[in-house]
Structure 1
Amino acid sequence: MPSVSGRNPGAPRGFAVVDLEATGSSSHRHRVVELAVVLLDRDLEPQGEFTTLVDPQGPVGPTHIHGIEPEHLGGAPRFAGIAGRLLALLSGRVLVGHNVGCDRAFLVAEYARIGVRLPDVPELCTMRLAAERGPAPYGLSLRACAAAVGITDWRPHAALGDARATATLFAHLAPGVRDLPALLALAGGLRWPEPSGVLAAADALWMRRGNEPARRSVPNVRHWGA
């Protein structure tokens, strides 16, 4: 497995808020079937949205949760086809998610399958941040934490909808994070894999789910760099 080296560190770019839907709960046995990234700058201002369905090369898993049927995946890229572009979106940024450890585990596993090792990306979990603010009367799910700060108008269990809600929730919670500058600096100093070999071999078009609102989303993405 190649080491994480080659792409030069630079100034911190901000935050990458991620969410994914998967074919099951195990990052070792199951696959990503949809993912989304919402980019925020260092001041928590939106910079862009990126989402795609992903061909898991097998069963789609719990359709009753994520709403994705096998027929929705016609033309969807495999993870290897989007891996390089996704690295470009994540590099230099703090990884943010609701239960971010789960999202990270799936990303690490997907990259490992194509022989790429992710760096030790600094991360922030909105579930943990919400818990630190005090007892949550309705639990720590994304829906409950979002509703507690007035975020109610989105579609749960669609990757882009959840990533948007998580990004908005993070903007509410981030002022209480004391080591935010240090995490940003750490993210900016990491070295990432170069876009070569398997990362450069395939650069597939990203394909969002057909019923996802197009507002502020980028349905088809090519080229390196955010």
Structure 2
Amino acid sequence: MVDVEATGSSSRRHRVVEVAVVQLDDERRVQGEYSTLIDPEGPVGPTHIHGIEQHHLLPAPRFGGIAARLAALLRGRVLVGHNVGCDRAFLAAEFDRAGIVMPDVPTVCTMRLAEESFGAPYGLSLRACARAAGISGWAAHTALGDARASGQLFARCAPQDRGELAEAAAVPWPASAHMTGEGARWIARRAGFSPFAAAGNGDERDRRMVSSGRHGGA
């Protein structure tokens, strides 16, 4: 699962301000969760949507500083997300700015999966699709919160027998030796950082964005 928060809607003109990756195993269990704020080297954009203010980014790395580690997290993985084409476009643009060509990895869109599974009784936004699937209680418009919700949608909607994983394993990524900034520190959101209530039920949940992972990821 992948999700980005950005300074605007255009991957050409705007920048990523937060990225999250949630890794699932073959049983669709969470293996690891990783997220970081990213310095967009300019205005943060719609704070009223993503909750990120300029001063939150003072310790955050630039994308080039986390590109190598992010590529390692995505290597061999299917790129899954809600309206995943948008997330992929932003990631490809940021990798390009860092001098890295993002390969043509297989993608799965949870928006389309949810539409096929439940129709669109409330619309096609992540919140609407999650509502149709009975998913609630995540920190909406945070990269990790939305990646988690997309992961739950995927687990409920995607057929078990899919061929994308084998395809992803064969996709060659640039060697990390050719990337810079591999050791840049990832800076996650802290508890209470976001002004938004948890999506679906209005509860004020713990919003710590974690960077952790269990061994054995595919």
Whether the TM-score (by the shorter chain) exceeds 0.5 is yes
The partner residue of 1:184 within 165, 172, 189 is 165
Structure 2 residue identity aligned to 1:200: T
Unaligned runs of 5+ in 1: 1-16
Please say if 1:164 is aligned against 2:148.
Answer: yes
Counterpart of 2:176 in 1: which secondary structure? Answer: coil
Q: Once the two structures are superposed, what CA deviation does each residue of 1:125-174 show, in whole Å capped at 9, x if it has no partner? A: 00011112253110011001111111110111011111111111110011
The one-letter code of the counterpart of 2:158 is A
Change (3 A) 1:201 1:165: closer
Structure 2 spans left out of the alignment, 5+ residues: 194-205
1:121-140 matches, within 5 Å, as 121-140=105-124
TM-score (norm 2): 0.87
User: How far apart are 1:200 and its partner, in Å?
Assistant: 3.5
In the other structure, the counterpart of 1:200 is: 180
Match of 2:40 in 1: 56
Separation in structure 2 between the aligned mates of residue 155 and residue 37 of structure 1, nearest angstrom: 15
RMSD: 2.0
**How far apart in 2 are the matches of 1:201 and 1:45?**
30
Q: CA deviation at 1:215?
A: 6.4
- Aligned-residue sequence identity (percent) comes to 61
1:99 lines up with 2:83 in the alignment: yes
State the TM-score, normalized to the length of structure 1.
0.84
CA contact (8 A) 2:139 2:207 kept: no
Kept after mapping to 2: 8 A contact 1:48/1:216: no
How far off its partner does 1:201 sit?
4.1
How many residue pairs get aligned? The number is: 202
Aligned-pair CA distance for 1:216: 8.2
- Partner of residue 41, structure 1: 25
Q: Determine if contact 1:21/1:158 at 8 Å carries over to the other structure.
A: yes
Aligned to 1:4: none
